[in-house]
Amino acid sequence: MNYTDIIPTNKICVIILTRNRFLDFNLFASTWEKTTEGKSVVIVGVDEDDNSYDGLIENNTFPFIWERLKPGPFLPNFNKLALKYAMKYKYISYLADDLIFKTRWESLIIDKLDSLGKNGIVWVWDGHNPITKDEKLPHNCGIPFFNYSIITRLGYMCPLKLLAGAADNYWSNLVMRMKETSYFFEDIEIEHRHFSYGLRNKDSTSLKIQSESAPDWKYFESDQFYIDVENDVKKLTL
């Protein structure tokens, strides 16, 4: 595939992977419906052995594209979907299934990414982490929106070594080194209803992610992690 021949649709492709979280997913979907301007497409990845969402799929409850996936750690599956849909949509985002949209977002993000060019990355406030003005320590990049070209050139949106954790650490390190083409929206809120904030229970999916991510934190704490970040920046900026 010659990625230079791709002419993607000028929309945000939101990729969400969910497992056994029917109520959380419904909150995500209903707040998307309330805030969308028709400028985003939602791709939902669901494990083949998870029937939690069968009714939603069969009844077309939400105007989403559903992808059945082989069960396993979620980041490899996310990377596959990110690369697949980077061939179709100009902007790609990873959003967790325990997020809810609180403000207008689509037009603001598209306009900013349009101005940042092929290395554009923006991210938004999660409703909890303190907003910092420290340029050396940017606000946690846990809710990112990428220009598709970054993904097609790297072959992923987060390192292939990652299984279920530390993706936001990678993205935060990336934007810290690419300040000219990255931007943080402190006035766009997509709230993260993580169990650590007391907004939901720590469920079986949380435990699964916690177990599968153990190797990721060892990688994040290693020198190799930072070498890989630097190499990715070089690939994108040289």
Query: Does position 1 have pLDDT exceeding 70, yes or no?
Result: no
What are the tens digits of pLDDT across the range 61-110? 999 999 999 999 999 999 999 999 999 999 999 999 999 999 999 999 99
What digits encode the pLDDT tens for the residues 110-159?
999 999 999 999 999 998 877 766 655 556 899 999 999 999 999 999 99
Are 43 and 116 in contact by the 8 Å Cβ rule? The answer is no
> Which runs of consecutive H residues, i.e. helices, occur in the chain?
22-35, 54-58, 74-85, 106-116, 148-154, 167-177, 204-212, 214-220, 223-237
Report the CATH number of the 8-237 domain: 3.90.550.10
Measure the CA–CA gap between 79 and 97, rounded to whole angstroms.
16
Q: What is the pLDDT of residues 162-201, one digit of tens each?
A: 999 999 999 999 999 999 999 999 999 999 999 988 888 9
| Structural contact between residues 173 and 226, judged by C-beta atoms closer than 8 angstroms | yes
Distances (CA, A) of 221 to 164, 204, 213, 226: 15, 26, 13, 9
Domain borders along the chain are: 8-237
Tell me: pLDDT of 213 over 60: yes
